[in-house]
Amino acid sequence: MSIGSRPFHYTRAIVRHIPDTLADNALRMNEPASPIDLERARQQHANYVCQLRQLVPDVLVLPGDDSQPDCVFVEDPVVVCGNVALVCRMAPESRRSEAAVLKAAVESLGLLTVEMTEPALMDGGDVLFTGREFFVGLSSRTNQDGVEFLASVFSQYKATSIRVLDSLHLKSLATMAGDDVIAIADNPAGRQTWKDISHLAAFQYTPLWIPDFGAANVVYINGCILHRSSREFPASAQVFKSLNCPTREVENSELSKVDGALTCCSVLIN
């Protein structure tokens, strides 16, 4: 189960197309101020996939399914670490059937799978892997049994529960943005999250404070940071651009209306 010494170097990714039912039926914490523009969502997602293709040699694109309105958010049904994929038991009934699709996909790529069982619940969006240890959000989607299940599957790493405040997932507030660097939303929930992570961590990390809540979720992939665009979040984009690290930007205005961030649209495999 070892992932070797380069945890954020990936050779493959899995994504899924946006189904027609997303705009009306995808889950959401709040009704968005403006309706979802499905065509724009698809353009933004196509650009995201295009950026991924430039960073990862092999991108597997799965079809969407109208009976699974949230299926584009492939990060949630499966957590991959090394050659093992933990197939999550998701809290929302409307998302449960996504797991079988992702399980078949990761198995087709040769990964070993372990299926989470009752009473454990988990969304991959709550799982922050630093390359050294796991932090797992306790949220409306993930319970302590879920954290313990993950800890038993990836037993070579420490797994620590972090309470998620005012957000859907832990990774809405905190994501990796470099080796041992964690991008954190500079708001009360983000500051508390950093306090908890830094207090409970087995290793040392540097916080990268992100002024806009919607921009703290980034994909750190093969030495590059994929982040929300300057047009959407100029101050936050500036923070990423000032780092000594290649960056790429994508817009995500439409999927963010149903709480979709950047990490949630891909499963990354190394």
- Strands 58-62 and 12-16 turn out to be parallel
Name the residue type at position 252.
N
Using the rule CB under 6 A, which residue among 19, 64, 77, 125 binds ligand CIR?
A: 125
Q: Identify whether the C-beta of residue 126 lies closer than 8 Å to the C-beta of residue 164.
A: yes
**Please, which residue, 28 or 132, has the CB nearer to ligand CIR?**
28
Given a contact cutoff of 8 angstroms between Cβ atoms, the answer to whether 205 and 182 are in contact is yes
Tokens of 99: 């797991």
Residues 192 and 170: beta-carbon distance below 8 Å: no
CB of 73 to ligand CIR, least distance (A): 4
Residues near 238 by beta carbon (within 8 Å), at least 6 away in sequence: 230
Contact range with ligand CIR by CB under 6 A, out of 36-44, 46-54, 223-231, 256-264: 256-264
Q: Which is nearer to ligand CIR, 36 or 197 (CB)?
A: 36
Among 41, 264, 267, 269, binds ligand CIR (CB under 6 A): 264
Answer whether 248's CB lies under 8 Å from 225's CB: yes
According to the binding rule CB under 6 A, does residue 14 interact with ligand CIR?
no
Q: How many CB atoms lie within 10 A of CB 83?
A: 15
76 part of the interface to ligand CIR, by CB under 6 A: yes
Q: Taking Cα atoms as reference points, which of 214, 120, 123 lies closest to residue 175?
A: 214
Cβ contact 116:122 at 8 Å: yes
The answer to whether 169 is a known catalytic residue is yes
Q: Tell me the closest approach of the beta carbon of residue 91 to ligand CIR, in angstroms.
A: 9
Among 70, 196, 232, 249, the residue binding ligand CIR under the rule CB under 6 A is 70
- Shortest Å distance, C-beta 160 to ligand CIR: 19
Write the DSSP symbol of residue 21: T
Interface with ligand CIR includes 73 (CB under 6 A)?
yes
Binding of residue 258 to ligand CIR (CB under 6 A): yes
Q: Does 169 bind ligand CIR (CB under 6 A)?
A: yes
- Give catalytic residues, as residue numbers: 169, 264
Residues within the interface to ligand CIR (CB under 6 A): 26-28, 70, 73, 75-76, 95, 125, 168-169, 258-261, 264
